[in-house]
Every structure is written in C-alpha cells, then in structure tokens.
Structure 1
Amino acid sequence: MATIGEFRRVFSAFDQDGDGKISAAELQLCMKAALGCDMSVEEVQSLMASADTDGDGLLDKEEFLRLVLETEAGKEEEGDRCREAFGMYEMEGRGCITPLSLQLMMSKLGLHLAVDECQAMIRRFDLNGDGVLTFDEFKTMMMMG
C-alpha cells in the first residue's frame, strides 16, 4: 500500500491548476493519463459525489485521501474474500487447487463433474501450465467470473 506522502504527490499531480482542490475535469483527465482509465462524465461525477463530504463539488486533500484509502481497503477486502474462497477449494494442503479438490468442492455445491471436466476448467486459468491453480490464478478466475 502506498504511503500518505505518495498520495499527496498524486494529489498534487491531479491538482493541475494548483488551487488545492481537484475538480471533476481534473479527476477525469488524470484518471485517463495516469491509469488509462476512460471514465464517463457520469462516472466521474458519481465518484466525486461519493468523496465530496463538504458538498463544494471539489475534492480537497483530505477528501481525496479518504477516497483513495477506501478504494485500497476495498481491494484488500476483495483479496481476503478470494483467499477465503481459495481455502475452501484447496483441500489437499498443497497450496493449490487440483482437479480432485475442485471436483470435491463442486460436488459439495451440487454440481457433479468428472475429473477431466475439472481439468478442463483448471486449464482455462492455469497460466503456468502446471495443471493446478495457484491463488493468483484462482483470483484471476474469480474476477473474470
């Protein structure tokens, strides 16, 4: 996670006119430049509204910092949920999901698959070709869900 100092530098980069506040136009422009993220005017306005606690239509440093920290916390929470789900599928203590452990979990969920069907499912997300899913491969699968 980035430090407060790094977030302050990011804020300064977003605050192009140097007035100590970030406007919707500055936020939209910087999201595109910094992240390659094309946000619509409506998406930017929604993001601004969620973080603009004083209602002035601009983000000051504290509001921007709160927005960034909430976004970071949401990513961590999502990672925790993925790790918890991974643990349910990873039953053999090998630190990965095997075709057999996938088959066992799927049958607990009422979906009875053959081992070769489970192998085929794993192959779709098995980035290193080792026949099992690591946590990172599982997380990719969950996000593409």
Structure 2
Amino acid sequence: MASIEEARASFDRFDADKDGLVTAEEYKRAMAEMGDPYVTVPVAETLIAQRDTDEDGMMSFEEFWNALRKE
C-alpha cells in the first residue's frame, strides 16, 4: 500500500484543475499523459464510479485513499 503522501501525489496528477475532485475527463487526460490513450470517458466514468461512495460522479481524495487502503 502507498503512503498517504504518495497517494496524494498520484491523486494530484489526475486532479488537473486542483479542485479536490477528479472528473472522468481529467482521468482520461491524465491516463493519456501517462501513456494510455485508450481510456475513454465512459471507461473513466466506470472506474470513478467504483470508488465514488457519495455518488456525485467524481472521485475525491478521500474516496481515492479509501480505495487504495482496501487493495
């Protein structure tokens, strides 16, 4: 498991506008920048939904961190 500092750094790569939430578009863009241009918005929406405990359609750091701790 990653440390909370490592998790925050990873989350920040996805949170392009630094509002504390990752949207499907931000997720897609970050994955493309990291070398995976095949992640589409619908795929990103599905991946976010798996971690989105408050069902707002976005992933917060808390949701991201909780998902990492369960792995």
TM-score range, shorter chain: 0.7 to 0.9
Cα distance in 2, alignment partners of residues 21 and 32 from structure 1: 18
What does residue range 117-136 of structure 1 map to in structure 2 within 5 Å?
none
| Structure 2 gaps, min length 5 | none
1:55 maps to 2:42: no
Q: CA RMSD in A?
A: 1.6
Bigger Rg over Cα: 1
List structure 1 runs of 4+ shifted beyond 2 angstroms: 66-70
Q: Offset at 1:25?
A: 0.6
Equivalent-residue separation in structure 1 for 2:11 and 2:27 (angstroms): 10
Partner letter of residue 31 of structure 2?
Answer: M
Structure 2 residue aligned with 1:43: 43
TM-score, normalized by length of structure 2? 0.81
More helix by share: 1
Question: By percentage of residues, which structure has more strand?
Answer: 2
Q: Normalized against structure 1, the TM-score is what?
A: 0.44
Which 5+ residue runs of structure 1 have no aligned equivalent? 74-145
Alignment of 1:134-145 (within 5 A): none
Give the secondary-structure state (helix, strand or coil) at the position aligned to 1:65.
Answer: helix
